[in-house]
A = this chain, B = another copy of it.
Amino acid sequence: MKNTINIGHGGGGRLARDLIRNVFLKHLNNPKLAQLGDSAIFELNGSRLALTTDSYVVRPIFFPGGDIGKLAVCGTVNDLAVAGARPLYLSCAMVIEEGFSLKDLETITLSIKNAALKAGVEVITGDTKVIEKGQRVKESESQSNKSEGSNIYINTAGIGIVENGIELGMDKISVGDKIILSGAIGEHGIAVLSKREGFDFESTIESDCASLHGITQKILRSGNIKFMRDPTRGGLAAVLNEIAEDGNLEIKIDEDAIPIRDDVKGIGSMLGLDPLYIANEGKVVVVAAKDDAGSILQALQNDPLGQNASIIGEVAGKEKPGVYLKTSYGGTRILDMPVDDPLPRIC
């Protein structure tokens, strides 16, 4: 199976990173792509613009706190936001399986409308493709021939503008910088899972799906920010490991400082899922200069989307690159990069 794509290639972990390096970067290499940022930044007639793209394949398409339409707006807005950009316009392209409900399509379109309005962006161009309905049969269910509902996949690309003076990048991170998390983690992943067929529990946990550019634009004015990323696929653990790996940095995290709701911990533990690896859709990890961390934290906490923000750790050195978690019990364990995807189709 080494010669074929597997679910892990679409996760936020090692396999996905290898695929990007060994196939896409290998052939399409150019300086803008090689940054591997959430958005690519380019200059045009004196303006600095950010371009990003994301496809959304979440199952189920409706989940507590949102749906694939809201996700498709917020996720792409957030990829612009963490690049320091102010989002302007989105494209929206749908690939729909025949048999898909027109009513559901209208509901999703309304979600897109509302999320775009709330984020202050406009969807200005689109595309629709329809594919034949495959009788999608899960292997384990092939005997009963149970077919799943029709699918929809949404791609949104986004364009934004980066104000002069904003220079973010993993290469800006240095020893001593503080790591700030904007709020509690794991809610999006648990909310989606709670609705996914096969689990027989319901919870009150809603996806944290939200557009973050209001908060990112605000904190960019509150102090020296080196780098931002939204912990989606692969969760907080993937983001921290990317930072550690790309800069050969030793990152120390204090487990007790990471905000996680008790019910997220509980359901995660029931399912054998560590919230540190679960996707979020309305949180941002901020790496800030040590002396500015306090003012940035304050700015975050003053916003409803950041009221549970916390300084969770720091860039401690360069001697032992990796992510080290000081546990609640006083020990220290290595927080590894996820290899594949514990939760496919989460976004």
In the complex, chain A residues 1-22 whose Cβ is within 8 Å of any chain B Cβ:
2-11, 16, 19-20
Q: A203 contacts which chain B residues (CB < 8 A)?
A: none
Whole-angstrom CA separation of A103 from B142 in the bound complex: 29
- Interface contact B3-A126, CB-CB below 8 Å: no
Min CB distance A268 to B, Å, is 22
Copies per complex?
2
Q: Range of interface residues on chain A? A: 35 or more
Choose from B4, B49, B55, B129 the contact partner of A10 (Cβ within 8 Å): B129
Give CA–CA (A134, B157) in the complex, Å. Answer: 27
DSSP class of A's interface residues: helix, strand, loop or mixed? mixed
Given contacts A27-B106, A153-B153, contact A131 B345 (CB under 8 A): yes
B99 touches A53 (CB 8 A): no
Contacting residues of chain A (48-87) with chain B, CB-CB under 8 angstroms = 49, 51-57
A274 sits at the interface (CB 8 A): no
Does A97 have its Cβ within 8 Å of any Cβ on chain B?
yes
CB-defined interface of A84-102 with B at 8 Å, one 1/0 digit per residue?
Answer: 0000110111111111111
- Smallest Cβ-Cβ distance to A126: which chain B residue: B24
Residue of B103, B129, B142, B345 touching A55 (CB-CB under 8 A): B129
